[in-house]
Amino acid sequence: MFAKNVIDSDVFLDMPMSARLLYYDLGMRADDDGFVNSPKKIMRMIGASDDDMHILIARQFVIPFETGVIVIRHWKVNNYLRGDRYKETRYLSEKEMLETDDSGQYFLVNESGIPPGIPTVYPDKDSIEKNSIGKDRQDKSSQKQANEMFERLWKKYPNKRGKASVSDKKKRELFAIGEEVINKCLDRYIKEHNEKLSSGRFCPEWKNGSTFFNSGYVDYLDENYISNNDDATSPALSNDGSWET
């Protein structure tokens, strides 16, 4: 099992998909204490790279030992086994090197980092730091591009309220969808709104910018959009100022 507070965390979701899939496979093959004695074999089976394991170690989702065994740090957070079903791990010497905090996470008894003498499949400290720095730079670059795209779209949107409610994560989601697609949604919404105004049909106020960019744009995607221009059921404004159909 996998706890949502672990796999839904930003730290986990920010990892590449291949690293996340490796974590799931390790979790499915671990013993009842969360130990895996053949991580290299599992990596070969699923086509995971050394970098995927490096990331899991650097982000502290697994703890490696000199013997080549690894343990899943959040195993006791992810899983609970009844006493009559629990079978203790064979890797007792490694287990003795661990302690568990109040949340159920494993930590090395004498240190919180990676133990010395890590097998060659794992990087040294400098490699981990370089990988982490590279990932941070990539994340910052992607966020910068997402922010720039959002600013261009925001300038075009008529109701500039709620800008601070559009999170960086949402901006990255919009960036992943693509500026051309979101811009098309925006054009459709503006055109539909203006046509309702000019025709005398009932028309609500412009949505707050935050409402449109957080969720409102979804109705205007190609797969969801239905034009309301010929909607005969929409009320129209009569000569006496009342709404009629």
- Smallest CA-to-CA distance from 132 within 55, 73, 52 is with 55
- What's the CA gap between 64 and 239, in Å, rounded? 78
- Smallest CA-to-CA distance from 3 within 31, 24, 29 is with 24
Token duo for residue 73: 């740090």
Helix axes 179-199, 125-156, angle to 10 degrees: 20
- What's the CA gap between 18 and 139, in Å, rounded? 17
Sorted by where each begins, the domain ranges of the chain are: 4-123, 140-244
Which residue in the block uniquely carries the two structure tokens 């990255």? 172
pLDDT band with cut points at 50, 70 and 90 for residue 195 = confident
Residue pair 43/22 in contact by the 8 Å Cβ criterion: yes
Question: Residue 65 carries which side chain, given as an amino acid letter?
Answer: F
- Smallest CA-to-CA distance from 10 within 231, 196, 214, 170 is with 170
pLDDT for the residue 83: 61
pLDDT tens digit string along 17-57?
A: 999 999 999 999 888 888 999 899 999 998 998 888 988 99
pLDDT for the residue 92: 82
